[in-house]
Amino acid sequence: MTATSATSAPTSTRRLPANKDLWVFVLGDFVIFGAYFVIFMVSRHQERDLFIESQRHLSLNIGVVNTLVLLASSWFVARAVQLTRGGEFGRARKLTVGGGACGVVFILVKAYEWSAKIAQGHTFPSNNFFMYYYMLTGVHLFHVAIGLVFLAVAYTELRHGKRVGPVETGATYWHMVDLLWVVIFALLYVMR
């Protein structure tokens, strides 16, 4: 035994959680949404008064509720990953269901908000603000639906395969969806 091998500590390889291909997709989505956000900001700058007046028709309370729901979902999903890594698959399944349930609540709240806006006459072609509002929240809602599929796959894996990879993949996608919502919430509901 050499002195070097006796004193060297075991090496652990650091890796990104989830699949590398998913990270490429997530980064691509961030680039696309980043372009949406820049276009929104340019339009907002060009029609500042219209955007501020239209923004007053949105309920900040509904936006806050949806933000809190998605942040809670992220916590559930992050804990599910930790529990999966620790071999606590039953508890991880329950938390994955909690994260998915929050996603369903988000969709229901968004559907209520959309129906209220449409009933008030604020539709997609109403003005540029509402065009962006429906486009950004609609594309995001589509991502939430895809995220629910990812969480369903993670749940199934926890029931059968007990592998960490699919759970990390679902969590990575879900956190991307939540982060995008935080930016959308700030742009549409908060920024004046």
Q: What is the CATH number of the domain that holds 192?
A: 1.20.120.80
For residue 192, the model assigns a pLDDT of 83
| In-domain check, residue 2 | no
Distance CA 142, CA 33 (A): 13
| In-domain check, residue 141 | yes
For residue 22, the model assigns a pLDDT of 81
Token output for 75? 């916590």
Domain that holds residue 180: 60-192
Distance CA 124, CA 130 (A): 5
| In-domain check, residue 51 | no
Contact predicate 189/61, CB 8 Å: no
- DSSP state letter for 15: -
- Counting Cβ atoms within 10 Å, is residue 5 exposed (0-12), middle (13-18) or buried (19+)? exposed
Q: What is the mean pLDDT of each run of 10 residues along the chain (192 residues)?
A: 48 64 88 96 96 96 97 97 92 96 98 97 95 97 96 92 83 94 96 87
| In-domain check, residue 14 | no
| In-domain check, residue 85 | yes
Other Cβ atoms within 10 Å of 31 Cβ, number: 9
> Based on C-alpha coordinates, what's the Rg of the chain?
21
For residue 14, the model assigns a pLDDT of 65
88 phi/psi in degrees, rounded to 5 = -95, 75
Q: How far is CA 107 from the centre of its chain?
A: 12
Distance CA 55, CA 49 (A): 10
Distance CA 108, CA 70 (A): 12
Counted domains in the chain: 1
For residue 18, the model assigns a pLDDT of 64
| In-domain check, residue 46 | no
